[in-house]
Structures are given as structure tokens and as C-alpha cells.
């Protein structure tokens, strides 16, 4: 059965594939991406293999290599895709409310068992791989810094913050304690912790 022209165009990055060229099926691509997260959580980057990813995704190795030439490029692509989604930009009407909502979303993500396994492993690999380090910078800093900058700008407009507050500092104050508690110390968050942290961060920025 003939392939739809738009499907072929999408699969080849906007160019119509030549006659007989393989079409990259989106469902296989998504299965492979999901398998990458599962493999990273199960065995870590160093022990992860294309064979293991293909087996977990229910595809052949050729299907993986058609899309990515190595496991490094595959992981970089997946991490970049996660970064592109980013964090939501809360707009509750107050700085403290925005901080509290951001903390809730971040804490939920960091509590996920897969994230708890993957992020520390990739941070360790980043010390040995400039490519992974740059991808993580995008995933863990650049995408979130835009959210923090928007929150600070709205707080300045409302008169809650003075002009010139450093958005990078605001992001450090908001997310640093969560990374420390959940990924480094690996301790659960006490009841009311997010409320107290939101108040402390808002007070520090307002000072």
C-alpha cells in the first residue's frame, strides 16, 4: 500500500524521500525513545547498549541505527527533547504562589523513580563527556532559566520585587534545595516543606 506523501515528507526531515527509501515510522521512534529512559534507569549510560534498547523497544537494531548513529547521539536527542518541553511557567498572581507551584511540579518530576536513577547517572557521565554535559546544561538550566526569568519579570511588574533581581539566583534558590534533598541526600520531603521553601525563597528575593 502506498505511503501518504505527508508522512514520507515528515519522516525525511521535510524532504520527499526517494523511491524505495525506508520510511521512519513514528510509533517505532517513540518506542525507542521510551526504551532509552527505561534502559538508562535500569543499567545506566555506561552499560546501556543499542541491542538492549532495541530489545526493550521491540524493534531490530537496524531501526535504531536508521535514526541515530550511536547511543550517545540517541541519549542526546532524548535529553534535548525533554528539555524542549521544559517546565510550565506559573502565573498565580503572586511571587510566592508562582514559586510554590514551580516547586510542586519540580518535586513531582524529581520524585519519579526513573528520574531519580537517570539524572545522577547522567551527571556522572557529564564529567567525562562534553556532549552530555552540554545537553544536560540545556535540560537542567537553560530551559528552566527562561521560566525563572518570566516569574521574576512578572513579580517586578506587580511591585513584589525590585528591578535587577538575578533570575539565575532565583532559579538556584528555588530548585537547588530540591535537587539536594531528593537526588543527593535522597531524603523525602517533610510535610509542609514546599510551603516553607516557597516562603523562604520569596523572602530572600524580596529582601
Digit-coded pLDDT (tens) for 156-169: 999 999 999 999 99
| pLDDT tens profile 64-93 | 999 998 888 888 888 777 766 666 789 999
- pTM score, whole prediction: 0.73
The maximal CA–CA distance of the chain, rounded, in angstroms, is 67
**Tens digit of each residue's pLDDT (9 = 90 or more) over 11-60:** 444 444 444 344 668 889 999 999 998 998 899 998 999 999 999 999 99
Residue 170: all three cell numbers together: 532565583
- Cα(105)–Cα(38) distance, integer angstroms: 21
C-alpha to C-alpha distance for 34 and 20, rounded to whole angstroms: 28
**Helices within 86-161 (DSSP H only):** 95-111, 113-126, 130-137, 143-158
The Cα–Cα gap between 102 and 148 comes to 9
Residue 95 clears pLDDT 90, i.e. is over it: yes
| Segment 112-145, tens digit of pLDDT | 888 888 888 888 888 988 888 887 787 777 778 8
- 95-111 and 167-179 helices, crossing angle to 10°: 40
Specify the pLDDT at position 163: 94
Amino acid at each position: 500500500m502506498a505511503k501518504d506523501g505527508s508522512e514520507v515528507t515528515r519522516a525525511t526531515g521535510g524532504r520527499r524521500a526517494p523511491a524505495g527509501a525506508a520510511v521512519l515510522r513514528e510509533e517505532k521512534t517513540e518506542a525507542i525513545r521510551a526504551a532509552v529512559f527505561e534502559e538508562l534507569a535500569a543499567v545506566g549510560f555506561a552499560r546501556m547498549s543499542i541491542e538492549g534498547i532495541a530489545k526493550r523497544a521491540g524493534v531490530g537494531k537496524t531501526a535504531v541505527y536508521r535514526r541515530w548513529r550511536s547511543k550517545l547521539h540517541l541519549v542526546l536527542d532524548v535529553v534535548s527533547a525533554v528539555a524542549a518541553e521544559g517546565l510550565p511557567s506559573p502565573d498565580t498572581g503572586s511571587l510566592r504562589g508562582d514559586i510554590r507551584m514551580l516547586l510542586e511540579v519540580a518535586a513531582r518530576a524529581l520524585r519519579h523513580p526513573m528520574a531519580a536513577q537517570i539524572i545522577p547517572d547522567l551527571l556522572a557521565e557529564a564529567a567525562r563527556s562534553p556532549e552530555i554535559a552540554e545537553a544536560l546544561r540545556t535540560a537542567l538550566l537553560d530551559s528552566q532559566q527562561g521560566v525563572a526569568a518570566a516569574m521574576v519579570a512578572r513579580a517586578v511588574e506587580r511591585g513584589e520585587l525590585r528591578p535587577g533581581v538575578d533570575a539565575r539566583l532565583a532559579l538556584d534558590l528555588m530548585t537547588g534545595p530540591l535537587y539536594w534533598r531528593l537526588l543527593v541526600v535522597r531524603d523525602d520531603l517533610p510535610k509542609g516543606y514546599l510551603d516553607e521553601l516557597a516562603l523562604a525563597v520569596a523572602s530572600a528575593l524580596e529582601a
